[in-house]
């Protein structure tokens, strides 16, 4: 076989260049090159390495050496380069994505030291990634109690292989304080063991403030509702009593387990049938149409000493917890023998 016919054109240039640097007087005494061959339809890469034998006057007389098939090594190198480039591309996408979000994203090693933190978290600390990697919570100036708690939680995730979530207050070294919700999740190795812990944290300061405001307003409302001289009770779409303030409970005779019971069953124990039917008709009408009902009537209050009461009240439709409408009923009653005029007892808000 004519060896030169198997050489690729670029390989001929490689060989010519290598020989051209070695053969002339004063040239190098060794040579090494890689070139391609096309043999039987297959392309091979060959690495040739040898020396230049010269006469005493320095003229090259032979080029002994060896040629090794390095095709597989070249393929492995190309595959490794491709994988590395893919990994770097994925890392850039990953880092760009995590940089763009406002949540904190991070990874711990098995000792609870940071292996990665996204830009949002680094900005909170006032650090670069290089400054944060390898540090734990104490190194990052977390309070000792919080640092110990977080470290224990990381170790719990590692030991159990289960995700953990919690909340905490935190003030960063840069002076930013807030309330944060975080999740620690295990990262599993191919053998099923936990090899790292991933975490995400979200600033929920605004949500906590809303919740606190809501709790405060609810407490204020409950205080007002419990102290008002009005009777107030709520019924759902099925006319079951859902809430009743102290005045309403007294009006219903302080029946045990009032909440959750059917208002018809309760009122039929207390009032004449005609009054019960009228009340139920008005409540159903308000729930169905949304029209407010004003109630004014007389009835016998049958619990305890018999007494006749005059009352006035109003019924309003409200949304229920299950999405169906219910009703809130306001009323005030006086003994009929009272010199107070009925018109002074309006209970409609």
90-133 pLDDT tens trace = 767 666 656 667 789 999 999 999 999 999 999 999 999 999 99
Where a domain ends, among 51, 69, 87? 69
Q: Is the Cα dihedral 240, 243, 249, 255 positive or negative?
A: positive
75 inside domain: no
d(CA 327, CA 232): 11
CATH number at residue 252: 3.30.450.20
Q: Does residue 244 share a domain with residue 325?
A: yes
Same domain, 107 and 193: yes
pLDDT: which is higher, 253 or 172: 172
Q: How many domains does the chain have?
A: 3
pLDDT-derived band at 341, boundaries 50, 70, 90: very low
Say if residue 344's pLDDT is above 50: no
In sequence order, what DSSP letters do the residues of 6-49 get, joined into one string? GB-HHHHHHHHHHHHHHSSTT--SEEEEEEEEEETTEEEEEEEE
pLDDT of residue 16: 61
- The string of pLDDT tens digits covering residues 152-209 is 999 999 999 999 999 999 998 888 889 999 999 999 999 999 999 999 999 999 988 8
Residue 318 — pLDDT band, cuts 50, 70, 90? very high
The Cβ of residue 136 has, within 10 Å, a number of other Cβ atoms equal to 17
In a domain? residue 63 = yes
CB–CB of 231/330 below 8 Å? Answer: yes
Range of the domain at 233: 228-345
Overall average pLDDT of the 211-237 stretch: 88
Residue 80 lies in a domain: no
User: Cβ atoms within 10 A of the Cβ of 242, count?
Assistant: 15
Assess if residue 65 is contained within a domain. yes
Stretch among 64-78, 177-191, 234-248 having the lowest mean pLDDT: 64-78
**Are residues 192 and 262 both part of a single domain?**
no
Choice between 349 and 40, residue whose per-residue pLDDT is larger = 40
Predicted pLDDT of residue 262? 92
According to the model, what pLDDT value does residue 258 have?
87
Q: Which residues contact 129 (CB under 8 A, 6 or more apart)?
A: 116, 117, 122
Contact 314, 292 (CB under 8 A): yes
Cα 129 from chain centre: 23
- Structure confidence at residue 349 (pLDDT): 37
Same structural domain, 62 and 21: yes
Question: Do 121 and 186 have their domain in common?
Answer: yes
Same structural domain for residues 173 and 235?
Answer: no
- The verdict on 158 and 195 lying in the same domain is yes
Has residue 240 been placed in a domain?
A: yes
Tell me, yes or no, whether 126 and 163 share the same domain: yes
Sign of CA dihedral 85, 90, 95, 97: positive
| Residue 214 in domain | no
**pLDDT (tens digit per residue) in 271-308:** 778 878 888 999 999 999 999 988 776 554 544 445 55
CA nearest to 166, candidates 151, 188, 177, 176: 151
pLDDT digits (tens, 9 = 90+) for 126-164: 999 999 999 999 999 999 999 999 999 999 999 999 999
- Angle (CA) 242 313 271, round 5°: 70
CA dist 319 and 17 (Å) reads 89
Mean pLDDT (the chain) is 80
Query: 47, 183, 187: which is closest to 104 by C-alpha?
Result: 183
My answer on whether 305 and 337 are in the same domain is yes
CA geometry: angle 57, 62, 64, nearest 5 deg: 130
Q: Is the pLDDT of residue 84 over 70?
A: yes
- Tell me which H or E stretch contains 340: none
Is residue 81 domain-resident?
no
Q: Which two tokens stand for residue 233?
A: 């009770």
Q: Residues 341, 235: one domain?
A: yes
Same domain assignment for residues 42 and 14: yes
**Helix residue spans in the chain (DSSP H):** 9-22, 71-100, 119-125, 129-132, 144-160, 205-227, 246-251, 263-268, 273-289
Kind and range of the H or E run holding 312: strand 307-319
Rg of the chain (C-alpha set): 43
The pLDDT value given to residue 79: 81
Q: Cα(75)–Cα(200) distance, rounded to whole angstroms?
A: 40
Report percent pLDDT > 90 for the chain: 37
The pLDDT of residue 99: 65
Is the same domain home to 32 and 60?
yes
The model carries a pTM of 0.52
**Residue 171 covered by a domain:** yes
């Amino acid at each position: 076989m004519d060896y030169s016919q198997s050489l690729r054109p670029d390989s001929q240039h490689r060989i010519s260049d290598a020989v051209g640097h070695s053969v002339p007087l004063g040239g190098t005494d060794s040579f090494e090159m890689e070139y391609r061959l096309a043999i039987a339809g297959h392309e091979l890469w060959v690495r040739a390495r040898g020396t230049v034998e010269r006469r005493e006057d320095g003229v090259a007389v032979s080029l002994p050496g060896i040629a090794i098939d390095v095709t597989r090594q070249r393929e492995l190198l190309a595959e490794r380069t491709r994988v590395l480039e893919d990994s770097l591309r994925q890392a850039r996408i990953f880092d760009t994505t995590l940089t763009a979000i406002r949540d904190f994203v991070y990874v711990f090693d098995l000792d609870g030291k940071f292996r990665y933190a996204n830009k949002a978290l680094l900005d909170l600390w006032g650090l670069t990634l290089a400054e944060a990697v390898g540090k734990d919570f104490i190194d990052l100036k977390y309070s000792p109690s919080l640092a110990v708690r977080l470290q224990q939680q990381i170790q719990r995730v590692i030991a159990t292989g289960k995700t953990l979530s919690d909340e905490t207050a935190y003030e960063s070294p840069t002076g930013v304080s807030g309330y944060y919700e975080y999740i620690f999740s295990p990262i599993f190795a191919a053998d099923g063991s936990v090899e790292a812990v991933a975490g995400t944290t979200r600033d929920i300061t605004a949500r906590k403030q809303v919740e606190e405001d809501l709790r405060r307003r609810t407490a204020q409302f409950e205080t007002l509702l419990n102290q008002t001289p009005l009777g107030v009770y709520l019924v759902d779409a099925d006319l079951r009593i859902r809430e009743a303030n102290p005045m309403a409970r007294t009006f219903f005779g302080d029946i045990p387990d009032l909440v959750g019971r059917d208002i018809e069953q309760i009122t039929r124990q207390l009032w004449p049938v005609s009054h019960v039917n009228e009340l139920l008709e008005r409540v159903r009408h308000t729930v169905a149409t949304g029209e407010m009902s004003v109630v004014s009537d007389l009835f016998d209050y049958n619990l305890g000493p018999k007494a006749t009461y005059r009352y006035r009240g109003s019924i309003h439709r409200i949304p229920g917890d299950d999405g169906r409408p219910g009703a809130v009923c306001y009323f005030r009653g006086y003994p009929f023998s009272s010199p107070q005029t009925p018109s002074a007892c309006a209970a409609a808000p």
